A and B are shown apart, each in its own frame.
Chain A
């Protein structure tokens, strides 16, 4: 072993993977086991692959991914809590040749920003939405979200989410799939290499749909929050597979162009 120099190994022809160009060298603040890191990387890879760094505008939310702008070297707008789809609406309409995406958590998108996401999707804005659903408010310390599963213990449902007190977990993705303005709705995860590849394909499709101007693309990524769930990263993945996927099943919910006015007329006749 002593005669092998590491410098001889680091060569172009031996390279099988590099960090996406768009990812900065800033150390991410995410907890071990958090899905954000992988999701960020996939968005970055798609931007690299499509060579659209100079034409992409990201909208970051309030929540753990508020600082996403430190990790991807593109132009960013940081939105007020829940309002990312409103920012994206204006940015895309005023810069139609740019790729505009929002990156939002479930507290941001499904609770305080429910109106903005529903109406942006209903208008069929030609934007891509990356929706990280870990069923909890991560940044503020693990409080109950609209997506929190029944019985799930959080800082504000310490005895478990009760339907009497808190109602039911919100399947906002299913709701959005009903809207005629939406082109593509899918639910994915990033807990295995195969899932990561599928999610990357979905994100790519979401961005490519912006070229086709066929309506909103909505990509939910069912995610882990080891700190909020108070589980180890490995246990978090197991818990997610066992509980989250049951309520939030993976797969495509809609894949078509948005309804035209003609088809809507036919439908109401």
Chain B
């Protein structure tokens, strides 16, 4: 079923959230993702599904509104871009500490600082290594198409509620701004308050019931023994996610002698680079992590037994390459190629980098 549309990546995030039965959006304008809130305001979902949409006074307020909504067991999300996400990190750490499910979309732009409004992948470390204070993780989804922007809204929420953890869609100005055809899902109903009480009444602030004490949503534990216990619990949960939720895709790896590792828009560039390289007789394939946390470590490690070298292609100064190197553990050469500050590498540049850094360098 569903419906075929031609949409921008940012617009489909809004559309997908409404159709998924999301309860609330809280956000603050920032380029290149403002279309998310603009689409929501234009659609007026409060008149159809009852979804709440609030333009907050800042990213700090947005993320804390998310905390308030998620605490009620509601499905809430926000979107922003790099500097805005930096402002949200305190709140994301609280959400992770209090184990609140929610969805955060980061349409990454070039940094550091105010940087540029052009696309970038330089927030990989921030997204996949926690980002804020304390030992925590968020599930990180990395869509490479407008279709995946749609799909990852539902997947992000599903995983968030399965594990009581914030999910983060790590995308960039390319995917956010480009238009592609996309099949959107049929409208699903929002959960009723009764359904939420049934599903999450044991922890959510749905109003104190006679058969239980008041539910308390907090990330505070003044006694270090209690805090350590909570941390051990979180780490156990993260290991479980690493075990169960790895998601990746491969292109032409069957006969590959070399491998590109890339996610999101860089993976799209690599697909074209494979065509060019193969026309030259270079047998190269692509491993594309669909989730960048948990990371497909095992698959990278397996492929290290097959290929002669790997090139991590990222629109950053080299962040994901560290995860590739950890998985490969020195067995074969692993190099990074990237453009940054808002530049998208061309497929020809990527092939050239492969030839120089990996094939020439062996």
Contact = CB atoms under 8 A, between A and B. Distances in A.
Interface stretch (B68-76, B266-274, B301-309): B68-76
Interface string B91-102: 100100010000
Contacts of B241: none
Given A76-B216, A78-B218, A80-B90, A91 B54 contact: no
What 7 A-B pairs come out closest when comparing CB atoms?
A87-B68, A90-B68, A86-B64, A78-B218, A75-B205, A83-B64, A90-B69
A72 interface: yes
A14 to B, nearest CB: 29
22 contacts: A54-B209, A54-B210, A57-B72, A73-B213, A73-B214, A74-B208, A75-B205, A75-B208, A75-B214, A76-B205, A76-B214, A80-B94, A86-B64, A88-B68, A90-B66, A94-B23, A94-B52, A94-B69, A95-B193, A95-B207, A115-B61, A119-B57
B144 to A, nearest CB: 31
A156 B24 CA distance: 41
Contact of A80 (B58, B72, B91): B91
B24 A77 contact: no
Interface of B: 23-24, 26, 52, 54, 56-58, 60-62, 64-69, 71-72, 74, 76, 90-91, 94, 98, 193, 205-210, 213-220
Given A55-B207, A80-B91, A87-B65, A94 B57 contact: no
A223 interface: no
Contacts of B74: 94
Interface residues of A, number: 32
Contacts of B94: 80
Contact of A77 (B54, B56, B67): B67
Contacts of A89: 54, 61, 65, 68
Given A66-B220, A76-B216, A116 B64 contact: yes
Given A78-B217, A80-B94, A86 B208 contact: no
Interface in A34-67: 53-57, 59-60, 66
B11 to A, nearest CB: 23
A83 B217 contact: no
A231 interface: no
A234 to B, nearest CB: 30
Nearest to B90: A80
A78 B219 contact: yes
A78 B220 contact: yes
Contacts of A54: 207-210
A79 B64 contact: yes
From B23, B56, B72, B218, name the one whose CB has the most chain A CB atoms within 10 angstroms: B72
A235 interface: no
Given A89-B68, A93-B24, A69 B218 contact: yes
Contact of A90 (B24, B57, B58, B208): B24
Given A76-B215, A77-B217, A93-B52, A86 B65 contact: yes
A83 B72 contact: no
Contact of A79 (B52, B57, B67, B208): B67
A34 B323 CA distance: 53
From A53, A78, A88, name the one whose CB has the most chain B CB atoms within 10 angstroms: A78
A93 B54 CA distance: 9
A22 to B, nearest CB: 9
Contacts of A78: 98, 216-220
B207 A116 contact: no
